[in-house]
Each structure stands twice: as structure tokens, then as C-alpha cells.
Chain A
């Protein structure tokens, strides 16, 4: 059937984000790494609504498609292994299946790991009987010699099972047909219920009638009883307040997704007496159970999963060393592992830096040409000079600058990163590097979020969601700033080429420049480790900690999805940021440069006020001012400094490096110390406002946001102060 479908036409019409008046609501559930999002994209097309679940830092995607004249709304649930652990992802998935009243749930299963995937599947079958199983990755299973008897699986589970290959679209037609059949009642499902431990079964049997009496029409009393015995806070609340009644009857305001967010945030004081009674009964029954009854529950589910898997899966020559294992042996090899990793990362950066050069210049030329034309039109229209200046030479120029510096490297770096992620290589990097992170009390996956930080620290902070342990995740969030992001590279590159390179003979110049930049990055990484160690031994003592790392099988990346996620999720995010953050900064710079008091510009006045402060750290007033102005976007540090030194009235670029050096050393009085201090400051100083905002959103805590913002700033000042004072004490040379 699976093979035959390669030729069968697919009647699925992708609807993208047109989610108005759908006929059926369908949820997509499954383990991580089962190709769930590939299937989602296949069905809904590339236009989808991507955001977070209300009030949660878990991403959520929605899309629509049409099949046989019916409109379906598809909601992608977070990928989880289970619904029992009450992690945020599991709570969202569970709440949606339980209370979202989906017309059906598609459970995506990985055909190469049936036993593991059955764990979640069996749990979902406990909650709802409107389930269709999409047995994905059939091609991979065939390649690995794994045969899955999907008909037998369907009989065992009591719901339709459709083999598919989401990447190629194989079998999707059958999947849609099965989905429609289940929703419209043409296929009646008889989902398998997990056989429970006798003691637990006894307790559940006591609760079920009470629940059914208190909440007439409830479809999954058995599951609710299990959750009450387990002490699930959100279910308890729903029972205690009687909220469950409203949830069952579907009396929910318009969009359920919003309702779940509200429901958990609003704490209504009223109590529903039968509900309170049920809770008391559950308390009593829980006491009669062994303390490890949760272990037994999971064990029962997995035992059932193993039993079914034995019946339906047949593996040809299971002992053969698979390709995956061979690759794993190489990439984690004591001799080859590290060089492969460093080479890979170096290549990724090289491609990014070199590849971004040309588009960056092109963008700058085009965008600045637009500025010229725009300002001339304004002039021709007879606008006052200050309107033209503020809008075109201030706001627009700030914007153009950030976009041209930032966009091309992002557009190259993020797809490379996502490709490595999809390929399955990045988890191996985490595996290789974990011993180092373990020593400082951090998680191996922090290696990945740091790599992401080279692209953008805000993106790096969001990427820490892959770290499931709260304490290690906080460490990764708070230290991400120590890897210099795209916006800080220009500063480092400028300093490396202008100051360091020129101190060496021409043959060595390029190496010296590169060496100094690498040195600065290494300082940042060093501080990541020092600060991680300090945090895990002081502030973060007493935060929950755990380590598990899944090494998914290597997979051919889905390039369409990669381009989509890296462009929409990450690159567009940066563009928005440019609009919101860089535009006002550009306007501010223009005002500072063009408002004069007693013949001196504001830049001048403020810079000379800050100068003695800056000198303490080997910097000067202009640099401090530039960093204050650049809080929204670090890209504008260098242009702001040039503007302030040259006395120009707008942000500008200099003809060549020689002129730049002339300006900085000749006019501004920079020394070698200034360059070194600035390099250190650029790497260590506070995160930009977007990153701070992201830290706040991700941690939901003012305290950690404050720590994340002020701790690096304090360290930057401390380090530069020590360096500058030591330099002075030792009487080291100042001339570069």
C-alpha cells in the first residue's frame, strides 16, 4: 500500500495561514525527531502561523489544508516522549488533547523506533479515541531492514495506522482519507487501554464513577483519575473549581489556544463541591498506593509497548553495524572527533564571513543610494533641513546600516546551523564537549547554544530551550552573551585589522589580525566557563538539575524546511529587531550630532563629560557614549564612534583603513591600550536590548534578567579596569 501510493494523486490543498472558519480541528502529536514538522509543512505549506503558546516559551505552529472539500486546521503540538512528566511541553500537549476538543489527533510515529514511540501513542489513546497513526520514516526503516506490520499494529492499537514518508509525500493521501473516516465516524476506533497494576486499577476504578457523576459527559474519566492520583496540579485545579465542566462541554471562548493560557493564569477562588470531594478521595487513595506507583505506571506502559513492538516489528540481520554507528565512531573518535568538529565550525564561520562580504556591500550601496534619493526628494519638496536630516540621515541611515551589516551573515549562518542540526551532527558535538561543560556545572548542549550565539545572542538565548534541565538552561542563558554575535564582529574586525595587523610586517598582518580576533573570542569562551562555574556554585545552587541527551539517527536534511525556519524564524526576527531597535537609535545619533549648545554638539558635551570615567578603563568618553547609544544594536558602535571623532553630522563610513587609523590615532588619541581594552569590552559587555528582552521572556524572571544584563557589564568594567591600571603601573608603551 505504501509503495502503491507513490503514484496516487494527492488531493491535499495547502491553505497556509488562512485559518478562517475551518471545519475540523486536528492536532499533530509525536516524539521529537519523528519528522513531525516535516509532515506539518507537507500538509500546510510554507505559510504557517508560528509563535509561542500563550504565556509559555514553547513554540507553536498552526496551519491549514483542504481535503475533499473540507477545511482542516492543523495545530503542531510540542514533541514529547510522554505526557506524564508535567514538563511545560507535555502539559501543553496534554491540555490540548484533553481540553482543546480536537476532532482528531494524528500521532506521528518513527517506524524505526516503534517501541519508544508506542509509549506516547498508548498514553494518547488513553485520552482520546479519535486517533490516526502516521507511521513515518518508512523509507528509512526499509533501508535499515526494519519491517513493520502496520496492519497488525492497527489491530493491536485499535486505530488506523497509515505508513507514510513525510519528506516525499508518500502515503499522505491515505493518511488524509483515514483522518476523514475517523472524524466523520465511518471508521470506529477501539483504542487499546493500558493494563494497570492491580492496586492502581483499584484506585482508578473507585474514582472513575465519581468523576463521571460530577462531570457528566466526560470522555476520559479514566485518564483524569490517573492524573489525579499522580497529583497533576492543572487537572486538580480544573476538577476543584469545576472548570472541567466548561472544558468538556467545549464552552470555550473562540480560540482554545488563548483560553488555555488564560485558564492557567486566572486563579478563580470558587470551588465546585463534588470536585473538592473527588480530590479528597484521590488524596486518600493515593496514600494507599506504594510510593513508587508512578514508576510502575510508566513500566506498565513500556511493557505493553514492548509486547506490541515484538508482535509487529521484524529486523533483518540486527547485528550488522549500521551506518549510523559507523559515522558515530568517527565523529566521536579520540583522534578525529575534535579536528572534524573544529574544521566544521571554522568552515561554517569562513563561509559566513566571506559569503556575507559581497551582499553586505551591495546592500549598503543600494540602501545608501536610496537615502540619497530620499533626502534629495525631501529637499526638493522644501522640507525643513532637520526633518530631512532626522528621518533620512538619522532614522533611515541607522536602519540601513544595521540591515546591511547584519542581514547577509545571518541569512548564511542560520541555514548552515539548521542544516547541521537537521543532519543530527550537533547533538554529537554536545556529546563530545560535555566533559568540559560538566566540569563547570553546565550542560553539553550549551556548546550548541553558544555556537548559535555567534550568529545572534538573542537567538542563542532562545536556542537554550533544547536544554531540558532548568539550572543548566539558566547558565546557558546568562552566559550566552560572552560569545560575540554578528553585531560585534565589525568592531573586532576593525580593531584587529587597524591596530594589530599594522603592527606586524605585511606578510604576517593577516594572520596577526585573525589571531587577535580568535584571541578575543577565546577570552569570551574562557569567561563563559569561568562564569558558568561561578553561577553553578553560587547563585544557581538549589536550581533543579538533570542530564540526558538524545543522539537521533542521522537524517538527510529537509532543505525546504531549513530555508523556511532559518529565514522566517531567525532572519526575519532580526529584521524586525532592526526596525524596532536600530531606527530610534539612528534618530538619537542624529540628534546628538546636530543639536548644538553654545557651539558644541551634544555628542561633544556628553563625550567629554564621560571621558574621565572612560579613562579609568583604558577607554574614552566617545567609546562609552557609543556603547550607550548602541544598547539597541551593537552594529552601530563603530559608525557612531567615527561620527563623534570626525565631527561629522551623520553616521558615516571612511574611505579606507588608513584614513580610519589616521582618525583614531591621530585625532582621537587612541593607543594600543585603547584597542585592547575596547576588544575586551566588546566581547564582555552587557547584551543588547533585544537579548535582554529575550532573557526576560525566556526566564520570566526580573531577577535573572537583571543578572543577565548587569553581570557581564560589571565583568567588562572590572576586566578592562584591571588591564588598564596594570598597563599604566607597568609603564607599557602606549603608541600603537
Chain B
């Protein structure tokens, strides 16, 4: 049985290397988890003490001290009194991890069919493996999302939270409801004028008319005229929608053989790859779709629809996310 010895030896070496690698990754992940926790604390203006950190990471006091020493050596933290503070390098790493985490959550929910409950766990693992370039590319692919699936903001590379930054009112389109998030307090006289017109954070406004010299606004139902220099001081975001979209009674999955329907839209939770694909195939609002074929073997799943002159087969889950309304046969 001497021939067994060689593969066994190789196996042992490979296993040893693998274990060592595993240990190093574990160490890095713990350090990064600590940084993320500290970053979170600073964001929310909470005090981060070594004890709290130990509790959060489930480490012994000794292990926590070793960890803190390691982080200090690498210039990521410093001690301010009893608290632990992040250095600029530590902050940068914390921001990177937070972005990686939330963007990955967004990716999982938009592009894959991983259940929402599992997303956080998967992102907790993945956040340690993304390089800054990968994070950037991911952000672009996702179309610069503002929030993760849980509604938490995804900060930009510079650490700004998009939802809060807002756009100057001067760049805002006419007719679209906006909510004020920020009014510049410098210079003071402009700030005072803005306040006098009732332009406060949290107030909803609509631009009625835009001219080079100024804007005509509706603020809480009142007509207000302001100069462009004041408008530039006021930062707004899209006003939150009051009514949530109600599910229309019918979708393409409900059609019977030969029946026609007009597309009302694709459900909001269909995102990313699939949404773009469906749009490109012509399932846009107003398109008239006819069901012409059903799979006999899958009990009517998939079904094929004639849309804009071509036959496209969809599975039931997808067809059920495309809302529609019935049309008369002789219409179109």
C-alpha cells in the first residue's frame, strides 16, 4: 500500500495550507467587523468602548485587547480617553465595508432570487472580499442605488449619503414634487430670506415656472417667487410618494389562450437584469399582448405571448409580475 503514501502526503500539505489561509482570513474578517462596528458607532454618535466591542464581536477581553493593539499598529484606530476612535484610514475602511455590504445586499435583491431574509448574512460574508474597484463597478452596474433593500442609505465614495445631499432647487425639473432637505446657512442674509419664504427642511415644494432670474414655487399651497441665488441655496430630494402602488387585479399570467391584454407596468420589485430585459423585449406600459401558446407539459407554464410582433415565452413567476388590463378583441 505504499502508493497511498504519496497522495496522502500531498493531501496533508494542501490541507495544512488551506487551514493557515482560513486562519488569516478569519483574522482579517474579525478586524474588519470591528472597524465596521466602530464606524457605525461614530455615524450614530455613540461611544465605542473596548467592552462594547468585545460584547458585539463575542470575544474575550484578552482577545479584544490583542485585536485593538493590532488595529492601532496598523493606524486604523487611536484611543481617546476610554473610547476608541477611528483614524482617517480607519474611517475610510469602515466606509468601504459599509458600502460593500449595502451594495451587495442591493445586488442580491435586484439580480438574484435569494430570499430577503438571507441577504444580510450573505452580504456580511461578501463585504470582506470586494476591492474598492469592484465596489465601484458594482455600484455602476446597479445604477447608483440610493438605498439598500432595508431602506438604509448607501453612502457615496466620499461618504455622503445621497438621499440627504439633495439637489439645488435650480437643477430641479418643473412640476415634480420635491422635499427640502437642506438650506445653506451661508451667507446669512440669503438664508434669512429663504426662511422668510417658508423654505425649511422637511417642507414640500413644486416648481411652477422657471425663469433665468428666478423660480415660481408652490409652497404648502402658496405661490412664492424667489431669486435664483436663493434657490441655489435650497437642496431638495424627490418628495416621498403618498400612495403605494396598489396591485392591479390582473397580470399576464392570468391570460387564457388567445386572450389579449394591455400592459400597465412591471412590478416594482422586479429589478436589474430581468426588468431591463423585459422592457427591451417590449413589455412596456401600453403594449398590447396576446397569449398564443401554453406549455402542455408544465401545466401552462411557460406561456408564450405575442408582443410587438414577436413570440416571447415567459415563466409564470415573471408573467405574474407584469400587470395588465383586459382589452376588447377589436381594439388596437
Contacts and interface: CB of A to CB of B under 8 A. Distances in A.
B324 interface: no
Interface string B61-81: 000000000000000000000
Contact of A546 (B122, B274, B299): B274
Contact of A295 (B144, B266, B292, B311): B266
A85 interface: yes
A231 interface: yes
19 contacts: A115-B282, A119-B280, A198-B173, A198-B175, A236-B140, A284-B171, A287-B237, A288-B238, A306-B287, A328-B311, A332-B293, A334-B296, A431-B302, A434-B295, A471-B112, A542-B112, A542-B114, A548-B281, A549-B313
Q: Which of A284, A305, A552 has the most CB of B within 10 A?
A: A284
Interface string B138-156: 0011011010000000000
A294 B265 CA distance: 13
Contact of B144 (A267, A283, A543): A283
Nearest to B163: A287
Contacts, number: 195
A553 B272 CA distance: 29
Contacts of A612: 1, 3
A202 interface: yes
A206 B286 contact: no
A332 B303 CA distance: 11
Contacts of A433: 297
Given A85-B273, A338-B297, A544-B112, 11 more contacts: A85-B276, A85-B280, A294-B143, A295-B265, A295-B266, A298-B280, A299-B279, A328-B304, A471-B112, A542-B114, A546-B274
Interface in A325-384: 325, 328-329, 332-334, 337-338
A328 B133 CA distance: 48
Contacts of B292: 325, 328
A544 B315 CA distance: 16
A548 B286 CA distance: 20
Closest 10 CB pairs of A and B: A435-B298, A113-B309, A334-B296, A233-B140, A544-B111, A551-B311, A82-B280, A549-B313, A546-B274, A199-B173
A547 B308 contact: no
A552 B306 CA distance: 11
Contacts of A232: 140
Contacts of A287: 146, 162, 165-167, 237
A471 B310 CA distance: 25
Contacts of B133: 267
B301 A84 contact: no
A286 B144 contact: yes
A337 B294 CA distance: 12
A431 B295 contact: yes
Interface residues of A, number: 75
Interface of A: 81-82, 84-86, 112-116, 119, 198-199, 202-203, 206, 230-233, 236, 267, 283-291, 294-295, 298-299, 302-303, 305-306, 325, 328-329, 332-334, 337-338, 431-436, 438, 444, 468-469, 471, 541-553, 609-610, 612-613
Nearest to A112: B309
A289 B318 CA distance: 27
Given A284-B171, A295-B279, A299-B286, A114 B297 contact: no
Given A231-B140, A284-B167, A294 B298 contact: no
B331 to A, nearest CB: 12
A184 B318 CA distance: 48
A116 B310 contact: yes
Interface residues of B, number: 66
Nearest to A547: B315
Interface of B: 1, 3, 108, 111-114, 122, 133, 137, 140-141, 143-144, 146, 162, 165-168, 171-176, 237-238, 265-266, 272-282, 284-287, 292-299, 301-302, 304, 307-315, 318
Interface centre among A114, A288, A434 (most CB of B within 10 A): A288
A468 B167 contact: no
Contacts of B314: 547-549
B293 A81 contact: no
Contacts of B301: 434-435, 438
B295 A332 contact: yes
B122 A202 contact: no
A267 B133 CA distance: 10
B274 to A, nearest CB: 4
B141 to A, nearest CB: 7
A203 B298 CA distance: 47
Nearest to A233: B140
B297 A337 contact: yes
